Amino acid sequence: MKRDHLIVQARKKVSDPYDVAYFAKKHGIDSTDAAPIINLHRSDRDSADRAAYHLKNTL
């Protein structure tokens, strides 16, 4: 039971505010746009960087 609870919490985890702020500043995008990118790509920074680059070019 306890293990299942930890898995659910891990899946719900939203990125730390510092990570979102840093990522948004690094790519020149809004933090409301950065948070979904980080949550979608998780630890794949190259993929997240590409997504932010494409987002910035479409704005």
Neighbours of 41 (CB within 10 A): 16
The residue among 24 and 6 whose pLDDT is bigger is 24
Mean pLDDT of the region 17-46? 90
Domain ranges across the chain: 14-58
The pLDDT of residue 33 is: 94
Q: Which residue bears the tokens 């933090």?
A: 31
Among 8, 4, 54, 47, CA closest to 28: 54
SS (HEC) of 18-38:
HHHHHHHHHHCCCHHHHHHHH
Contact 24, 33 (CB under 8 A): yes
pTM of the full structure? 0.70
Q: Tell me: the pLDDT tens digits for 12-23?
A: 455 677 789 999
Average confidence score pLDDT of the chain: 80
